[in-house]
Each structure stands twice: as C-alpha cells, then as structure tokens.
Structure 1
C-alpha cells in the first residue's frame, strides 16, 4: 500500500516524464519509468575509469610493441636531454636560437612522457584501464605540450626571420628579456588553454565501461564517448583552439614567406645555401609535426578511421619528438661539436 505522501512525491518526481509521454497515466508505469531514468542517470555519471584499447590484443604483437616503444621512448628522452645538456654546458650556444631549441627539447621530452609510459605500463601488466582522473590529467598535459611545441616552433620561425631578414638588428631585437618573455608567455597561455578544455571535458557525463580506441586519452575520442551534448567543448575547440593554431600557422607562413623572399634576393648560390641551411632543420621539424597533426585533426570524416588516426598520432606524438634531436644534431655543426665535447668530457671524467 502506497502512502499518500509517498504517492504524491513520486507523482511530482515523475511529472516531467508524463509531459513527454501523455499516454503513461498509470502510477505503476510512472514509477517504473522514473526509476529506470534515475538508474540511467546514475550509470551516466559512474564512469570512474576508461579502457585504452591501444594497438593489438595479441600477446606476441604486444611484446613486440612493448620493445619497440620502450626503445623509442628511451632514445627520445636521452636525445633531447643530451641536446639540453650540450646547450647549457657550451657558452657558445647561449644564443636565442639555441635557447628556443633547449625549450623545444624539454617540451619534446615531456610530450612523449605524457603518453608512452602509461601505454608501456598497460602492455606490461596486461591491463588497459586508466582512471577518470588519470585520463583527464593525461589530456591536460598532452594538450599543454602539443600546443607548447607548436608555439615554440612559431617563435623559432620568428627568430630565423630576424636572423636572415634583419641580421644587423638581430642582437638588439632578440634580447634575452624578449626570448624569456616569449617562452614564459607560451607556457602560461598553453597552460590556461589546456585547463579550459580539461574543465569543459570534466563537465561532461560518460556512461560506464567506456572503451577508447586509442593508446592515450585524446580529446576527439573522449568527446565521441560523451553521453551529453559536447557543444561547449566543440565551440571551445573551434574558437580558442582554432585561434591558437591559426596564430602559430600564420606566424610560420609569414616568417618563411619573408625568409624565402630574402634568400631569393641573394646573388650567389653559396650565399643562398648558407642562409637556407640555418633554417633547414627547423623547417624539417615543422613539416613533420604539423603535417602529421593535420592528418589527425583535420582529415575529412569520410576518410577518418581509428586505425589511421592512431598511426598518425604515433608519428607526431612519438616519432617526431624522437627525430627532432637527430635532425638538429646532424644538420648543425655547433650542436655536433658541443655533443662531442660533452661526451668526451664525461668520458675523461669517468675514466
């Protein structure tokens, strides 16, 4: 027997369901529908963990992937740390270009450390689970370092523009204060930018037992798993994120337009090659990073697939940070000389 007060309370709670479906007039039907809706809401907000599907579920392939990504991770971290140590230890490299390169190497080392260690741990323990808080933390740091790398590449393009197009004013314009200000501003703006997207993602609701067809918590797979309308998230991506990306791309395009225009005006072929060689390493890194990232986030939906997106993500999240130290060290005499000095001094000290 339902008490009058309880009956009135249940009817008040379920009135909203009756508005959407006037044919439901029985109290029992209303109560059952109300309970099912409440259970749905509970399941909607109970996503305390996600499952990173990664690349393959076969044990033999996972062992090969573990060895491959572990070696790539160690090479990436060691190479970028060597670049940083070489720049710090050699006073001849205390210039704006190498100051930005040291920050880029630091961003690369942190960038790859955001995603690969968790993937290696999941393969090692045969567990694909990542907690809700861990997923949002990974999303925050991933967006921070990927956008920081884009900003640093744009700043380095401006540095090359000043060195090639205005060499007489280079030392005066690219002062240590301005270089430090550009790097600090890049860190602060991208930290706030990543925080905005993370807070908006935290406001969404996810159903329980969600599977992410990726090896890390990226923003697009998470939005596709949301059970609520991600309009604000998508709006922030296209406005704030689009504006930040547009600033970087325009800075790169305008800088290199002036650089190529200046190089073409140089009369001798040797002078053209010497001027171009100062920015060839940077241009290679820019092409590799932005080319693969555009394939992931700006490809047409008709040609987009989870496997292709994962492979492209591996290129710009793992391969690109690993290749950056080799690109700069193999094409730069100063870096190669400093690395030889650093390794030789360490060897003598160890002996």
Structure 2
C-alpha cells in the first residue's frame, strides 16, 4: 500500500523525508506542514487524502476525523506522549488507530522540573534582578532576606524537602530518582478519591523516600505533607481542575507547586488566589489552559489568567512561567523521531505498539 503521511507539526518537530523504511510492499510519501495551521478549514485541506497523520499538538476534532473529511485515514501517530488534542472517541468509532511516543521526553522534562524547583525555592530570578537593577546589596551588605519564604523563613534544603508526585509515569519516575539522589523524601500520590484517601493517615516519614519504595500515599495526605508538589500526569476528564480551591487549602504554606503536565489540570484562577493569599509559597508552570497565550502587556481576553500578571506581580507571588518548553532537548527530538519511525514501521508490519486507541 502507498501511504500518504501528513506531518501537521513539521514546523515544530521536522521529520526527515527519508526517515522511514517501510516493509514491502508498503511505500510512502511525506507531506510536512511548514507553518502552524490554525483554522479547521486549513487542517481539513491538509489531511484530506492522508492515510497516516503525524502530529505533536495540532487539534484533530470530530469534524476533521469524520469520513467526509478524512475518508482514507487509518493511523494517527502522536510525536508526543500526550494525546489530548485528538478526539479518541471518534477514532474508536471509525477504527482509526492512535499511537503515541511515551517516555521520550522524560529526562528533559525532569531536568526542567529540577531547574524550576531550585529557581523558586531559592528565588533566583529575584536575586538576579535585585543585583543587576538595584544597589540593595551594597546598601545593606546582604540581601539574603529576599530569599525568605512568604512566612519570612529561610529557604529549606534538599534533605528537608518532601516531594509529592502526582503522576508516576516515565517523567514521575525520573523525577523521583533525581530527588532521592538529592536526599529528598518522595511521596507518590494515589488517585484522587481512591478509597485509601479516606483512611486515617499515619506518619510514614521513615517509610518513604527510598528508591525501593514506590508505594502510593493517599492523595490528600500528599497534598498536606509535601513541601514540593510536582504535577506530571495526563489531562483527561478525571484530571481537569484536579487542583483547585479545596486542594490549595490543604497544602502547606511553604509548598512550591510545579506543573509540567497540561493546562486545565490546575484551576488557574484558584492558583492566582492561592499565591496572592500566601496559601502556598510559590509556583512554577510550563503549561497553560490556552496555548500559546498572550502575556503581560500583550494579554487579551481569553488568554491564560496566569499570564495577565506583570513581572512585578509574578515576582511578588514567587511565580515562574515558561512557554511549554520543558520537553525541548536534542535527546527528546531524536527520541521522538526514532519512536515515530518505529511506530509507523511496526504498524505497517502488523506489530503495532504504543497503542492509545
């Protein structure tokens, strides 16, 4: 069979035209979209004859996946671990297989998480701005108090930290490994609402934190005990607004929250209120409900409310933002391409792997 492969996000992750080596009698032609397609009309036009679609984050809704628009479509390959941009129910109805690329970005995202942690806990951006833009250091001899928490406590060190992981896939496991190496205690959250959440909690301080201990801790207990909360889980109907007003009230005032999962898992308005009210000590996020989103002076109605804040407000709240770049590294790109290659070649050979639908 001669496959027509459309790479919707070739502008984002370019695919070499000679990457694939399909088993005979399969052959292919690859069409890469060199700029982002925004409107459904443009997306429909691009994929109309496709038998295989590759994408990273372009949205494929039910209309795009209808037989009228994509009559020949048989396979969708996500060059990413997340597949929330794909209407999977429509794929199930039509028998379109969906594959993803799990774990390929784990090391890069874990590195980004650790960078965010240190930047927030030790207020590194505030330190740089104060040194470069003011004479506070010269005037006072020290500016260590600017590193204090909102409770005016000195920053705690790694061996005092309790890391709560919400999501324990490849990224969560890599973060756990790094944190344990730094002497941190690691808690792995069970699913929110699991029966174990109703069980009275006990002090497990001496029972957790070792590499061999991957036991789950009740979700509510993780919120209450963690000094750092890391979100690295997929977005779906169960995880939308997983962290909102009630959850922030359970957290410690010294908690730093780090979100590298997806926008919508944290209630953004509730987050702003928690930061302004000092309910948590800070937050670092790489993801937003709307992406891309205007920010600061470029913010428009409908953009992420987090990014409506100006630089001074963000500094006051100890809020660090990055534009969905945690995944980005040479190793991730190489891994994405190799996994895409393997996914398509194996599917053509009747040995599909990394199946989502």
Normalising by structure 2, what TM-score?
0.24
Greater RCO between the two (CA within 8 Å, min separation 6)?
Answer: 1
Larger radius of gyration: 1
Normalising by structure 1, what TM-score?
0.24
